[in-house]
């Protein structure tokens, strides 16, 4: 199999403000994000030849995208893969461009989560059937089980574990204050995070990402076309996607302290990108912090921390904005909220800006290689997605 | 010789202090959790009764209740699934009368005697409701009793029975009503319970040519914990040495199940040679005479009534009961599954209701829910059915959900459990103290109602800390 490395370039990206956009329909969000991307790329909407519309709850079929942007009679696929939907949408666009069947592809992820009462469907049915006896569990209850086991497995007391998770929330909130597009732009304290109301033991309110609407979009093309449009196009270095087959909940051997789907996706992406030592070679990272425990475990899943050592790295500030490997420089899901299919593309937007040196107050010095990570679904049935990007020079 | 060959009971874990309903009233009543009903309790009692019995042997299942979840649909068939019985069995629903339990018992005895079945389980359960704050509410309790009837290794033979039919509107509930109605106690006791029970027992004694002192134990249905004393004394039974305590201040009046449960209580203390009188009441009375036999010494261990009574948690907040019974409105809860699919439930029924998993014939890996392709060795379609409902398990990890349904249950405990002998499952946990749930906690499985939607009562299995 060939690698995707250096075969696809991002020439334009757009991202709306994320939040409770009561007076914005998904069409409004799509128009705003995509036109920002078109202007950034220096192309017209009519230059788009194929589209991919990422949405979990905000409409089916590609015609949603066509009608919003008036893209007339082009092929558009609707893509859905839980929280990995945005990256999956982007990946599918990349494969068409790399195959040479499309010069300019548009990948869009959008969600009007707040149109649903209470926001994101508070529950996910397991395993996706509708017998009516499936247990209706909040997403928090899925990830909380890993927190319970992580504390137990590595001998962390409840207080020690809560403190580490709180520090992750504090870091992300701080980064969010530097980002005008984030839903939440305020600092919090460790104490506030620890004492917050319990959502799903042991995760509290500030261990959980917000619920919001949002849209992000990418215009992609082949590098030889990209270089005629701009100098600072960004290259796709690796794309990994891995779907669980139920192993974690069918086999007692699964330990509930890692996400095998994320590990597999990362390994695929690293192999394509030629990365041997992630901690040294990756300059900026966006991970799927739907819950603080997810971010903690992801440090290990991505090979940034050794197994069981992520808490030490959190204590040392390794992943802070000024740290060795800044993670979630834009505030993460914590501050943006999580419009499910938009989040992957929002992460790519931040990495794209970082690599172009356009991240303003959040800028990571000399950012040359960036990584995005998503994990979505339920225990045993997650889809992990990892994408790696690099500068063109 | 036909009679009882096994027994079982079920009393809910939760006990409501009567004092919390109205100050000054002593004692407690058993109340079923929001995820329990007559079907789930009958299943629990039947499973208790079936300890040490091969399920394959059972060829009949009778269900008895005045609070069947459906007016038209068998509850017996659901209990038969939960207890994982064969398909070729006789099932029947006995309903609407406080005598339903003994009616089922008498029918089972007659069936075995007539040769139309060999091993019938009767499971009787009730969760009746009285108007909030009323004496009925204080006296009623939820529970279930089960008896197996056969002609082999009989622990108590039926010697005789005598029934009286008495049409009376003393205590009743019309279709569509939630609360049991009655005429005033002066009428119901003096015109209903006292004379009719007297008539039935007198008739039985005459039929058998026995007197009260020939009996070791007299088990009476008692509507209120007091009225049975009057009729027992009048008949000539000794209150201290013979009359079974109806336990109204310990578990409450369990309706149609009460005679069965109290009979179980008597059997738990009985020895070979004892003679037991069993009396039920409701638009008449059934009186039965049993003789305890030697096989009672060799019964397998079960919780029975004693074990269930001892395992309990007290509630002193009356509102909890009101929320659990749906008597108080709650705020909108976000619904997820947009509809219930009956075909989906039907094809998954063995997995959902019997808690049947599979074991791979190639590598031996136990899997739940059943798979077509083995998760371990990827062999396709080489599995044998594997029952998980009777296996213990360990909690591998868990969480408690504090926001999904806070008035009903907070936190909602969910667990990932690993079964002894293999297999892993994610399920709700019920009847627990969230503070006591830790990794490696041992649990057992319990059959519960997980919801009522589109007119469908949905049942599934949950984990539960082993009832000590």
Q: Sketch the domain layout of chain B as residue ranges.
A: 3-324, 342-465
C-alpha–C-alpha distance, residues A35 and B318, integer Å: 59
CA distance B249 to B17: 9
Task: Please tell me which of the candidates A122, A131, A249 has its beta carbon nearest to residue B404.
Answer: A122
**What does the pLDDT read at residue A372?**
98
Task: Provide the token pair at A324.
Answer: 């060795």
Neighbours of A11 (CB within 10 A): 25
Q: Are A130 and B339 in contact (CB < 8 Å)? A: yes
ipTM computed for the complex: 0.90
Query: Are A118 and B334 in contact (CB < 8 Å)?
Result: yes
Q: Which of A138, A245, A256 lies closest to B397 in CB terms?
A: A256
Nearest Cα of chain A lies from the Cα of B160 at a distance, in angstroms, of 45
Residue-level pLDDT at A132: 63
- Which whole number is the average pLDDT over A261-275? 98
Residues 391-450 of B with CB under 8 A from A: 396-404, 411-412, 414, 416, 418, 422-428, 434, 439, 450
| Cis omega (within 30 of 0) for bond into A127 | yes
CB atoms within 10 A of CB A156: 18
CA distance A106 to A219: 5
Contact A20, A213 (CB under 8 A): yes
Q: Is B124 exposed, middle or buried (0-12, 13-18, 19+ CB in 10 A)?
A: buried
Q: Which residue has the tokens 């009979």?
A: B263
Q: Which of A83, A94, A102, A290 is catalytic?
A: A83
When the candidates are 3.40.640.10, 3.40.50.970, 3.40.50.12280, 3.40.47.10, the CATH number that belongs to B3-324 is: 3.40.47.10
Architecture of domain A9-118+213-218: 3-Layer(aba) Sandwich (3.40)
DSSP string, B301-340: P--HHHHHHHS-EEE--HHHHHHHTT-S---------SS-
Whole-number Cα distances in Å, B20 to B16, B29, B33: 7, 11, 17
Is A131 a residue whose pLDDT tops 70?
no
Burial degree of B195 (CB within 10 A; 0-12, 13-18, 19+): middle
- In A, residues 102-161, which contact B (CB 8 Å cutoff)? 117-118, 121-127, 129-138, 140-141, 144-149, 152
The mean per-residue pLDDT over the stretch A320-336 comes to 97
Q: Do A129 and B434 touch (CB under 8 A)?
A: no
Residues of chain B with pLDDT under 50: none
Q: Is B281 helix (H, G, I), strand (E, B) or coil?
A: strand
Q: Cβ contact (<8 Å) for B336 and A121?
A: yes
Which of B397, B415, B423 is most worth mutating to test chain A (most A CB atoms within 10 A of its CB)? Answer: B397
Cβ within 8 Å, pair A148-B397? yes
Active site residue A34: no
For chain A, the C-alpha Rg in angstroms (whole number) is 19
Mean pLDDT of chain A: 95
Q: How far is A149 from chain B (nearest CA, A)?
A: 6
Search chain B and give the residue with CA nearest A153.
B439
Q: How far apart are the first and last CA of chain B?
A: 36
DSSP-derived secondary structure for B342-398: HHHHHHTHHHHHS-EEEEETTT--EESS--SB-TTT--BS-EEEEE-TT--EEEEEE
The whole-number average pLDDT for the span A129-155 is 85
Q: Using the beta-carbon criterion (under 8 Å), do B396 and A197 form an inter-chain contact?
A: no
Would you call A138 and B403 a contact, using CB atoms and an 8 Å cutoff?
yes
Quickly tell me which residue has 């790696």 as its tokens: A388
Burial profile B343-361: b = 16 or more Cβ within 10 angstroms, e = fewer:
ebbeebebbbbbbbbbbbe
Whether B452 has its CB under 8 Å from any CB of chain A: the answer is no
Cβ neighbours of B78 in A, within 8 Å: none
Q: How many CA atoms lie within 13 A of B72 on its CB side?
A: 0
> What average pLDDT score do residues A209-225 get?
96
Catalytic (active site) residue A338: yes
Look at residue A121 and tell me whether its pLDDT is greater than 80. no
pLDDT above 90 as % of chain A: 91
Cβ neighbours of A134 in B, within 8 Å: 337
B379 touches A at CB < 8 Å:
no
- Strand, coil or helix: B244: coil
Most A CBs within 10 A among B401, B405, B425, hence the mutation to make, goes to: B401
Question: Which residues, 6+ apart, have CB-to-CB distance to B402 below 8 Å?
Answer: A197, A198, A199, A200, A201, B410, B411
Contacts of B339 in chain A (CB under 8 A): 130, 132
| In the predicted structure, residue A137 carries a pLDDT above the cut 80 | no
B307 Cβ neighbours under 8 A, 6+ residues apart: B467
User: How confident is the model at residue A135, as a pLDDT?
Assistant: 64
Q: Which residues of A touch B341 (CB under 8 A)?
A: 129-132
Residue B184 host element (H or E): none
Q: Do A198 and B423 touch (CB under 8 A)?
A: no
Q: How far apart are CA B460 and CA B455, in angstroms?
A: 16
Domain ranges of chain A: 9-118+213-218
Q: CA dist B158 to A157, B30, B218, B227, Å? A: 60, 30, 14, 26
Q: How far apart are CA B125 and CA B345, in angstroms?
A: 25
| SS3 at position B118 | coil
Higher-confidence residue of A82 and A117: namely: A82
CA distance B109 to B149: 6
The pLDDT tens digits of the residues spanning A12-52 come to 999 999 999 999 999 999 999 999 999 999 999 999 999 99
Asked if the Cβ–Cβ distance from B439 to A251 is below 8 Å, we say no
Is pLDDT at A129 greater than 70 in this prediction? no
* Distance in angstroms (rounded) separating the CA atoms of residues A109 and A116: 18
CA B262 to the chain's CA centroid = 12
- Which residues 317-356 of chain B have a CB within 8 Å of chain A? 332, 334, 336-341, 344-345, 348, 352
Give per-residue pLDDT as tens, B298-335: 999 999 999 999 999 999 999 999 999 999 988 766 66
Q: Would you say residue A125 has pLDDT above 70?
A: no
């Amino acid at each position: 199999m060939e690698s995707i490395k250096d075969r696809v370039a991002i020439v334009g990206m757009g991202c709306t403000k994320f939040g409770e956009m009561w007076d914005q329909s998904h069409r409004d969000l799509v128009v705003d994000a995509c036109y920002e991307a078109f202007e950034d790329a220096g192309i017209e909407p009519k230059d788009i030849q194929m589209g991919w519309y990422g949405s979990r709850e905000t409409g089916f079929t590609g015609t949603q995208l066509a009608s919003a942007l008036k893209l007339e009679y082009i092929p558009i696929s609707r893509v859905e893969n839980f929280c990995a939907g945005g990256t999956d949408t982007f990946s599918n666009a990349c494969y068409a461009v790399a195959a040479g069947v499309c010069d300019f592809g548009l990948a869009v992820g959008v969600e009007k989560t707040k149109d649903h009462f209470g926001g994101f469907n508070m529950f996910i049915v397991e395993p996706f059937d509708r017998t009516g006896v499936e247990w209706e569990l909040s997403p928090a209850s899925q990830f909380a089980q890993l927190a319970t086991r992580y504390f137990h497995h590595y001998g962390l007391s409840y207080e020690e574990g809560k403190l580490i998770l709180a520090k992750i929330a504090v870091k992300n909130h701080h980064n969010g204050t530097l980002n005008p597009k984030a839903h939440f732009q305020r600092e919090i304290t460790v104490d506030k995070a620890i004492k917050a109301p319990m959502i799903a033991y042991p995760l509290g309110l500030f261990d959980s990402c917000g619920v919001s609407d949002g849209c992000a979009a990418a215009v992609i093309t082949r590098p030889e076309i990209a270089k005629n449009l701009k100098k600072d196009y960004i290259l796709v270095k690796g794309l990994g996607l891995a779907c669980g087959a139920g192993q974690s909940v069918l086999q007692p051997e699964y330990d509930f302290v890692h996400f095998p789907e994320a590990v597999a996706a990362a390994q695929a992406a690293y192999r394509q990108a030629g990365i041997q030592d992630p901690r040294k070679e990756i300059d900026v990272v966006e991970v799927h912090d739907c819950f603080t425990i997810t971010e903690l475990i992801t440090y290990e899943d991505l090979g940034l921390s050794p197994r069981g050592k992520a808490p030490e790295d959190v204590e040392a500030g390794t992943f802070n904005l000024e740290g060795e490997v800044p993670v979630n420089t834009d505030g993460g899901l914590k501050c943006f909220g999580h419009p499910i299919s938009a989040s992957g593309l929002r992460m790519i937007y931040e990495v794209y800006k970082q690599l172009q040196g356009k991240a303003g107050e959040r800028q990571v010095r000399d950012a040359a290689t960036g990584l995005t990570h998503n994990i979505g679904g339920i225990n045993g049935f997650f889809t992990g997605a990892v994408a790696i990007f690099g500068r063109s020079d | 010789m036909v009679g009882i060959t096994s027994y079982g009971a079920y009393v809910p874990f939760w006990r409501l202090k009567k004092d919390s309903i109205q100050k000054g009233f002593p004692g407690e009543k058993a109340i079923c959790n929001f995820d329990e009903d007559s079907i789930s309790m009958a299943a629990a009692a039947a499973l208790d009764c079936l300890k040490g019995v091969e399920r394959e042997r059972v060829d009949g299942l009778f269900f008895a209740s005045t609070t069947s979840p459906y007016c038209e649909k068998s509850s017996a068939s659901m209990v038969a699934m939960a207890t994982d019985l064969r398909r070729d069995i006789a099932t029947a629903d006995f309903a609407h009368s406080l005598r339903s339990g003994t009616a089922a018992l008498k029918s089972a005895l007659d069936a075995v005697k007539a040769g139309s079945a060999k091993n019938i389980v009767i499971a009787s359960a009730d969760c009746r409701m009285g108007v909030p704050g009323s004496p009925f509410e204080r006296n009623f309790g939820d529970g279930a009793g089960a008896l197996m009837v056969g002609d082999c290794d009989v622990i108590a033979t039926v010697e005789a029975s005598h029934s009286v039919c008495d049409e009376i509107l003393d205590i009743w509930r019309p279709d569509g009503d939630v609360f049991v109605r009655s005429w005033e106690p002066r009428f119901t006791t003096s015109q209903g319970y006292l004379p009719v029970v007297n008539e039935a027992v007198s008739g039985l004694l005459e039929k058998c040519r026995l007197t009260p002192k020939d009996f070791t134990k007299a088990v009476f249905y008692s509507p209120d914990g007091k009225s049975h004393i009057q009729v027992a004394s009048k008949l000539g039974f000794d209150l201290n040495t013979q009359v079974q305590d109806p336990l109204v201040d310990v578990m409450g009046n369990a309706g149609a199940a009460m005679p069965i449960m109290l009979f179980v209580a008597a059997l738990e203390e009985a020895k070979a040679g004892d003679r037991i009188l069993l009396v039920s009441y409701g638009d008449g009375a059934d009186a039965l005479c049993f003789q305890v036999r030697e096989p009672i010494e060799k019964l397998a261990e079960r919780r029975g009534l004693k074990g269930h009574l001892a395992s309990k948690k007290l509630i002193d907040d009356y509102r909890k009961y009101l929320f659990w019974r749906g008597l108080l409105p709650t705020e909108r809860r976000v619904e997820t599954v947009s509809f219930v699919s009956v075909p989906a439930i039907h094809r998954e029924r063995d997995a959902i209701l019997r808690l049947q998993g599979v074991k791979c014939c190639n590598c031996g890996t136990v899997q739940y829910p059943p798979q077509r392709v083995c998760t371990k060795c990827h062999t396709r379609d080489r599995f044998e059915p594997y029952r998980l409902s009777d296996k213990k398990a360990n909690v591998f990890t868990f969480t408690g959900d504090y926001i999904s349904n806070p008035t009903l249950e907070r936190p909602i405990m969910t667990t990932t459990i690993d079964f002894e002998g293999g297999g892993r499952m994610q399920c709700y946990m019920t009847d627990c103290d969230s503070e006591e749930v830790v990794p490696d906690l041992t649990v057992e499985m319990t059959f519960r109602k997980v919801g009522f939607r589109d007119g469908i009562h949905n049942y599934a299995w949950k984990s539960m800390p082993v009832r000590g």
